[in-house]
């Protein structure tokens, strides 16, 4: 059955809306698995520092798409909690690089294990066909995000 261009656009818009809402709700549920630990911005920043290695505040601001003063506040909070540290760049003493501490890495590992366990428990309640559909959907979502 072929849809008219108007109907196809409406269908795509409805799918986009449903996906946005489902992904947002899932992210919110996953965040509640470690209530009060870190704000979403702090957790995203810590994850970026771990993934991308030691970064300057400017590089981190660009990676997280926030303004430098905002990143300075986020990093300061993470530093106060012992999750990141700043070290002076050896080649340019005016530059400081932010990197995850061993405590920060342990925090991320614990956070991920908690969230994975929650999600795995929810997945176990689904029938095999639904789990297979979600496995395919995960691949599609990963491809969708590759160019972002």
- The full set of domains in the chain, from first to last, is 38-146 (1.10.10.10)
CA 31 – CA 40 distance, rounded (Å): 8
Q: Compute the C-alpha angle 73/81/61, nearest 5°.
A: 30
**How far, CA to CA in Å, does 30 sit from each of 25, 59, 79, 84, 120?**
9, 27, 24, 23, 12
CA 125 – CA 29 distance, rounded (Å): 16
pLDDT digit string, tens, across residues 51-104: 998 999 999 999 999 999 999 999 999 999 999 999 988 888 888 899 999 999
- Percentage of residues in the chain having pLDDT higher than 90: 70
Q: What pLDDT does residue 123 have?
A: 95
Q: Which candidate, 103, 62, 60, 63, places its Cα nearest to that of 79?
A: 103
3-state helix, strand, coil in the chain (%, to 5): 70, 10, 20
- Percentage of residues in the chain having pLDDT higher than 70: 94
pLDDT digit string, tens, across residues 37-51: 788 899 999 999 999
């Amino acid at each position: 059955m072929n849809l008219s261009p108007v109907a196809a656009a409406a269908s795509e818009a409805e799918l986009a809306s449903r996906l946005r809402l489902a992904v947002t709700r899932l992210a919110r549920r996953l965040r509640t698995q470690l209530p009060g630990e870190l704000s979403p911005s702090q957790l995203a920043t810590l994850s970026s520092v771990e993934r991308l290695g030691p970064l300057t505040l400017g590089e981190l601001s660009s990676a997280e798409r926030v303004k430098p003063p905002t990143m300075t506040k986020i990093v300061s909070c993470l530093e106060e909690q012992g999750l990141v540290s700043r070290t002076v760049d050896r080649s340019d003493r005016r530059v400081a690089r932010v990197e995850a501490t061993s405590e920060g890495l342990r925090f991320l590992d614990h956070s991920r294990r908690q969230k994975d366990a929650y999600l795995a428990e929810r997945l176990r309640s689904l029938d095999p066909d639904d789990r297979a559909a979600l496995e395919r959907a995960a691949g599609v979502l990963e491809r969708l995000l590759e160019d972002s």
